[in-house]
Chains A and B, each alone.
Chain A
Amino acid sequence: LAKTTQPISMDSYEGQEVNITCSHNNIATNDYITWYQQFPSQGPRFIIQGYKTKVTNEVASLFIPADRKSSTLSLPRVSLSDTAVYYCLVGGNNDYKLSFGAGTTVTVRA
């Protein structure tokens, strides 16, 4: 399983765009990149998943460069309720040990 590295924390203000970059230099060919959000005392919640290039859904975008050694989660126009820990997880089909890294604590201020 590819090891991931993320910033420990990021601060932002309401209405701003937040970009969190995750490094995964040892990503394997069949690995997907998945991001989760976790609020205190709750289970992680899926945000977005991608394999290459760009993926967008109703809450976020995921940018993956051609070498796939990193990925960037983009949260547009954050609000106070986006304050949470964000985890980048890398793993592929039949990769049964889906392990989380340390995560990035995002704090959104008014």
Chain B
Amino acid sequence: EPEVTQTPSHQVTQMGQEVILRCVPISNHLYFYWYRQILGQKVEFLVSFYNNEISEKSEIFDDQFSVERPDGSNFTLKIRSTKLEDSAMYFCASIGRTSNTGELFFGEGSRLTVL
């Protein structure tokens, strides 16, 4: 079965440091997402990406966040200067070869701990 892969699985960083979380979506999918889940809370939408640009972003996704698809396979989330409250699980997801209806495929997540 096709899968979304994320690296690293766990990253510990100091407050103020830059972090890059990496994702390899399912081949030939066209729509890409990042979600965040703080421990014990719901899954929160961060950003969606289609046709090499951001299509929608939440109020959480401020200037400290950026996304990039540097090549045909990777999809990255960068946090420029991490804060304590950025500690969370970050999930990448992809959907759709022709539209964004259907099944959202999630990766196993990257746990970010900011000290």
Contact with A along B47-72 (1 / 0, CB 8 A): 01010000110100000000000000
Instruction: Check A98–B48 contact: CB distance below 8 A.
Output: yes
A97-B45, A98-B33 in contact; A44/B50 too (CB < 8 A)? no
Contact with A along B25-37 (1 / 0, CB 8 A): 0000001010100
In the complex, identify which listed stretch (A10-18, A67-75, A86-94) lies at the interface while the others stay far away: A86-94
Which listed residue (B44, B48, B89, B91) contacts A96, Cβ 8 A?
B48
Question: Whole-angstrom distance between the alpha carbons of A36 and B4 in the complex?
Answer: 16
Contacts of A87 in B (CB 8 A): 42-43
Answer whether residue B108 sits at the interface, using C-beta atoms and an 8 A cutoff.
yes
Instruction: Check A100–B44 contact: CB distance below 8 A.
Output: yes
Which listed residue (A36, A42, A98) contacts B100, Cβ 8 A?
A98
Closest residue of chain A to B42 (Cβ to Cβ) is A102
Instruction: Check A96–B56 contact: CB distance below 8 A.
Output: yes
Question: Whole-angstrom distance between the alpha carbons of A94 and B108 in the complex?
Answer: 25
Closest residue of chain A to B109 (Cβ to Cβ) is A43
Instruction: Check B91–A43 contact: CB distance below 8 A.
Output: yes
Q: Size of chain B's interface in residues, with CB distance under 8 A?
A: 28
Answer whether residue A79 sits at the interface, using C-beta atoms and an 8 A cutoff.
no
Instruction: Check A97–B106 contact: CB distance below 8 A.
Output: no
Contacts of A23 in B (CB 8 A): none
Contacts of B99 in A (CB 8 A): 93-94
Find the residue from B56, B99, B104 having the highest chain A CB count within 10 A.
B104
Question: Whole-angstrom distance between the alpha carbons of A42 and B93 in the complex?
Answer: 12
A41-B109, A97-B56, A97-B58 in contact; A32/B101 too (CB < 8 A)? yes
Answer whether residue A61 sits at the interface, using C-beta atoms and an 8 A cutoff.
no
Closest residue of chain B to A95 (Cβ to Cβ) is B100
Closest residue of chain A to B49 (Cβ to Cβ) is A96
8 closest A-B pairs by beta carbon, nearest first, are A43-B106, A96-B56, A96-B55, A46-B103, A96-B48, A97-B56, A100-B43, A99-B45
